[in-house]
Copies of this chain bind each other. A is one copy, B any other.
């Protein structure tokens, strides 16, 4: 097994699932791994092309609409389809449904950033051809989607016709009765212009409510002996490229597709034409080479090497590659729950970014991580507006799910009520500063967000009669218990913000006084508020059952009946698809890590003994119906010395998509879980943490693994970490020497290997 590659030899099974797994993207543009020529219409397929942040807004219909319910939902759109290429040889159309497939292989190469498909096909009349499809979405030229086809006639001379299509007649999928998939208007994109000039074809389409426009332009390169004719239809344009094929001769056709939109471009059409003309001066190999360079640099800092566990080695690379593909790289985009690989969850951005995906980028490519926070700054005004709608006189409330900034959650108990999104974002901002020391980001954007978030959390909470600061009527990460008081997770993360914002404020004041004063004036911030925050942090109520030495997930959790797991048959999972929410709310049953996640993020807030107690308690009542769960349990199993369990949870995490363990990867990858697989390794098996500004490790290498190697970017340094059974070697690769903590011993690290037993 080559762990840099995902391979497939069976085109007959799980077509839709593989459309997801073999999807390619660059964070701006994504294309699902459909076959260019299509496949039998009866085979379930979602043929999709997505632009990060490009959405339509539709009114949400409620049976009973109450005050403050969001008016609209934003949904990612399937945009203009440029995948289409049909091939005819001697008037026989190439299709895997017909004739005989003598060999089939496809692969996605994580190092090259290219998806290839090679088919040896015998037509019904007996003509054999070999076709190689190569696809690339450029990390360097973000608008560019390239397809190269190499056709070889194996046993005949004859005619060939390539029919390449650009098609604006696209729609989104609609799946009823599964809240995890989409419910958007299927046909939201309207073609407003099709045009053709100089062998380039353009389709322009727009949306009705969000008022966005996308342009796609295509053009082709092919051997000189071929001839091209073009047919313009109402919503699509077909290019017919005809010529003859000589036995043994390899003919190469290249399709260039360029996407521009009105979110990023002033003149989406002329910009498109410009870019298309410019990329046409280069061939496929040029962009393939740039792609590899880009990825080399990415892997240089992010590669993880696992010796002794090929399947995990492949999975973690697959995951990191997809994370890179999914991550928005400008201020208008973030990373959606399904990346750009499908329409699940309507393309929304959740807290998944901050808590599950952000760490991977932060510790490997902090510049990419920063973009996620910049996006949150872009939508800060929306969050302020939402706070007002929700009755808060002050502060910002980030939407539970969104694309362009509006709250899109129609079911508030497991949506808007998850106020923890606010402190998740704050946690990320604080963590970003701790790891990068990027004070100018903090002064320009970070502190403004922190201040507005802190204000909101202060406004939602109150000091109880015993002086404790409480937060009522919110939902924590575990959506199987909604609208509770004093959710441990929410409270502890809010405490973290309250505890730290004053220090951060003063730190920024020391170096960026003017900027801070401008922000203060803009948001009418009074430093007295810092004193309030500090007090609320100090008095934050963290629920704790003294007798049982356990933290209840919320005030009432332990009073409820424990779910009857013994009498719940397998087919009743995930529970949310088989039980009314009230049935779930009535029981002690968790969809995912909640209190345990709070412990992971803020370990210092309690004793290890209690963390262990909580782990043992919550593990028994957690279904892991959410893909965000097992990674946290893996990390905390390691933290509490349960190394075999940690490995089992890790397996479920890291291969969740590649093995379709949740049976829904056909709707898109699970980006949070992918981020979680990186966390399971670095925070789990290497036991890495940042504690009081210092990096620390507590290695727990799985027995099966001979070694583990990864790199960490920390405070402008790059460290290489190499683990074997009982040792960890840490070596400085970039930056100045520093001290790290290994198993509670402070050790200096420099360019020479530092080996610690």
Contact = CB atoms under 8 A, between A and B. Distances in A.
Interface of A: 60-69, 73, 176-177, 179, 183, 389-391, 409-413, 415-417, 460, 462, 464, 470, 472-474, 482-483, 485, 555-556, 559-561, 576-583, 585-586
A411 B63 contact: yes
The residue among A73, A410, A416, A485 with the most chain B CB atoms within 10 A of its own CB is A485
Contacts of A66: 179, 411, 576, 580-581
B64 A580 contact: no
Grouping DSSP codes into helix (H, G, I), strand (E, B) and loop, the A interface class, with mixed when no group exceeds half, is: loop
B582 A183 contact: no
Contacts of A464: 559
A582 B473 contact: yes
A470 B410 contact: no
A411 B412 CA distance: 11
Contacts of A483: 413, 482-483, 582, 585
A282 B183 CA distance: 59
A577 B67 contact: yes
Contacts of A561: 462, 472
Given A64-B183, A179-B66, A556-B485, A417 B579 contact: no
B411 A560 contact: no
A80 B470 CA distance: 57
B460 A412 contact: no
A478 B202 CA distance: 59
Contact of A65 (B177, B485, B579, B583): B177
A67 B576 contact: yes
Nearest to A584: B473
A62 B63 contact: yes
A63 B64 contact: no
14 contacts: A64-B415, A65-B176, A67-B581, A68-B579, A68-B580, A68-B583, A390-B583, A391-B580, A391-B583, A413-B483, A462-B561, A473-B585, A483-B483, A555-B559
List the 5 closest A-B pairs by CB distance, nearest first.
A63-B410, A68-B580, A462-B561, A473-B586, A64-B411
Contacts of A472: 556, 559-561, 585-586
A52 to B, nearest CB: 23
Contacts of A556: 472, 485, 555-556
The residue among A64, A183, A578 with the most chain B CB atoms within 10 A of its own CB is A64
Contacts of A417: 582
Contacts of A410: 62-64
Contacts of A559: 464, 470, 472, 485, 555
A579 B63 contact: no
A320 to B, nearest CB: 31
Contacts of A462: 560-561
Contact of A67 (B63, B415, B482, B580): B580
A65 B585 contact: no
A483 B179 CA distance: 21
A480 to B, nearest CB: 11
Copies of this chain, count: 2
A580 B389 contact: yes
A179 B64 contact: yes
Contacts of A586: 460, 472-473
A523 B410 CA distance: 39
B577 A390 contact: no
Given A391-B580, A472-B561, A555-B555, 8 more contacts: A67-B578, A67-B579, A391-B583, A412-B580, A413-B483, A472-B585, A473-B582, A555-B556
A688 to B, nearest CB: 37
A559 B579 CA distance: 30
A179 B65 contact: yes
A65 B586 CA distance: 19
Nearest to A470: B559
The residue among A65, A67, A179, A412 with the most chain B CB atoms within 10 A of its own CB is A67
Nearest to A485: B556
A411 B69 CA distance: 12
Nearest to A575: B67
Nearest to A66: B581
B63 A581 contact: no
Nearest to A389: B580
Contacts of A474: 582
Contacts of A69: 580
A179 B586 CA distance: 26
The residue among A73, A464, A556 with the most chain B CB atoms within 10 A of its own CB is A556
A291 to B, nearest CB: 39
A537 B66 CA distance: 36
A556 B470 CA distance: 12
A725 B72 CA distance: 61
A288 B578 CA distance: 57
Nearest to A411: B64
Contact of A416 (B177, B390, B470, B582): B582
Contacts of A412: 580-582
Contacts of A183: 63-64
Contacts of A60: 63
Contact of A413 (B61, B67, B176, B413): B413
A345 to B, nearest CB: 11
A62 B410 CA distance: 8
A351 to B, nearest CB: 17
Contacts of A62: 61-63, 410-411
A72 to B, nearest CB: 10
Nearest to A541: B559
Nearest to A475: B582
Contacts of A582: 68, 390, 412, 416-417, 473-474, 483
A462 B558 CA distance: 13
Nearest to A468: B559
Contacts of A64: 179, 183, 409-411, 415
A65 B472 CA distance: 25
A577 B68 CA distance: 9
A556 B472 CA distance: 9
A525 to B, nearest CB: 22
Contact of A391 (B411, B416, B579): B579
A180 to B, nearest CB: 10
Nearest to A62: B63
Contacts of A390: 580, 582-583
A62 B576 CA distance: 16
